[in-house]
Structure 1
């Protein structure tokens, strides 16, 4: 098994590409070891000293470090990923919630058409680009011209996330929906 790595805009986060599907549907985000419960792979990754975040996308795993240098952490992380996939165990145990499951969206019913357009733009134009950087972005709400988004994986805590939100996503949404005043992270 050959696992590639890619840098992300977040220097504390590295993207691992195992060359196979990690999550067929949805994503999984654990920001601490307790949040890894229900994922044998995430639990194993949190056993590597210095790992403080694990995110699974369709065909990638994003790891966030708290301390240590990547050249010291990478071998242990690569080993944990390889051992997990070779064992044949599932990435998530049955019934484990995926990222965003159960989180309520909020918006007025009169804004349903605007929200549908926002969600479509997020799905078709924003999420693919963000996934390329090892993260994910999800719609959380819309009120009074303000779009509320949740950032996950490499995007959560990234130094450039504010620029991504304000200059990239906000400008794109305003182009298609001039009534949008602002984009905020939840």
Structure 2
């Protein structure tokens, strides 16, 4: 057997570093440990917790991700950790004790209709993304291996991925009765096999990190901030339940016009104009009296 080699890779979270291994180290399983007591099934994770800066350990098929406390910087300790993992593996030590490892929760995915007849929402029983991403063609899917795979189905027109669901838009040539089960099973198997759904280091992903979003929010005027807060608290949950998303685009103080972006099932939905005018626009007019005249979607 070839010897184990470990390389490091940064993630969108500066506190988490991936230690990638050139061979599989688990049986296509994923584990997360928050302390040494939780890590009884993993002698490797327990050893890593003896390092005073280790906060969390994630172990999956071909990498170990470690979240650090702020007492150190990765640049000061990553070589030492990488070497320690490499030596541990090359000495033939156990990564996961399967006899006492927690049993993996089976992945379930169910299909749910949306107000848009061209879109079905596939809901998983686990979190699959940290933000919302929309892909309108295979050329836009560099940040999502799952979206790339879905576009290989000839009837897939667009893909929208959010925290625990995927909305798929189809071409009219296909009927949902003929393709829903095939899509549902493909998505379920993809997630269950722990394949990468969203690439952690993709520029689009980094732009949607909490730090980037909060930094952009602070540059906006006060009315725009109020609009975003209303959208987040009152509008987004209802829109997400229908397999879609709404994003703030801009606010014009002179015309008192709010522009938004509709995504997922909301994009191109026959009822989206009604929802925009009679729901979102009325709510913003009521909650921000005298500050909003109209709401426009710049797509969909």
Match of 2:221, SS?
helix
Deviation at 1:82, TM superposition (A): 1.9
Alpha-carbon distance between aligned partners in 1 of 2:259 and 2:134, rounded to the nearest angstrom:
19
Alpha-carbon distance between aligned partners in 2 of 1:138 and 1:155, rounded to the nearest angstrom:
11
In the other structure, the counterpart of 1:150 is 261
Match of 2:131, SS?
coil
Unpaired segments ≥5 residues, structure 2: 1-106, 213-218
Q: In the alignment, is residue 65 of structure 1 matched against residue 176 of structure 2? A: no
In the other structure, the counterpart of 1:166 is 277
Alpha-carbon distance between aligned partners in 2 of 1:31 and 1:84, rounded to the nearest angstrom:
20
Worse overlay, 134-143 or 64-73: 64-73
Distance 1:52 1:12, change over 3 A: same
Distance 1:40 1:54, change over 3 A: same
Alpha-carbon distance between aligned partners in 2 of 1:146 and 1:74, rounded to the nearest angstrom:
39
In the other structure, the counterpart of 1:11 is 117
Contact 1:26 1:99 in 2 (8 A): no
Deviation at 1:73, TM superposition (A): 1.3
Distance 1:139 1:56, change over 3 A: same
Deviation at 1:37, TM superposition (A): 2.2
Mark the structure with the bigger radius of gyration: 2
Contact 2:199 2:205 in 1 (8 A): no
**What is the RMSD computed on CA atoms of the aligned residues?**
2.2
Q: Choose which of 125, 128, 131 in structure 1 pairs with 2:234.
A: 125
TM value normalised by structure 2: 0.57
Distance 1:99 1:5, change over 3 A: farther
Match of 1:81, SS?
helix
Contact 1:22 1:61 in 2 (8 A): no
Contact 1:151 1:185 in 2 (8 A): yes
Q: Choose which of 223, 237, 258 in structure 2 pairs with 1:114.
A: 223
Alpha-carbon distance between aligned partners in 2 of 1:80 and 1:90, rounded to the nearest angstrom:
14
Alpha-carbon distance between aligned partners in 1 of 2:273 and 2:155, rounded to the nearest angstrom:
25
Deviation at 1:99, TM superposition (A): 11
Alpha-carbon distance between aligned partners in 2 of 1:76 and 1:49, rounded to the nearest angstrom:
13
Contact 1:7 1:15 in 2 (8 A): yes
In the other structure, the counterpart of 1:185 is 297
Contact 2:110 2:184 in 1 (8 A): no
Match of 1:122, SS?
helix
Matches within 5 A, 1:17-32: 17-23=123-129, 25-32=130-137
Deviation at 1:83, TM superposition (A): 2.3
In the other structure, the counterpart of 1:34 is 139
Alpha-carbon distance between aligned partners in 2 of 1:8 and 1:99, rounded to the nearest angstrom:
29
Match of 1:121, SS?
helix
For CA contacts below 8 A with separation 6 or more, give which structure has more relative contact order: 1
Contact 2:200 2:206 in 1 (8 A): no
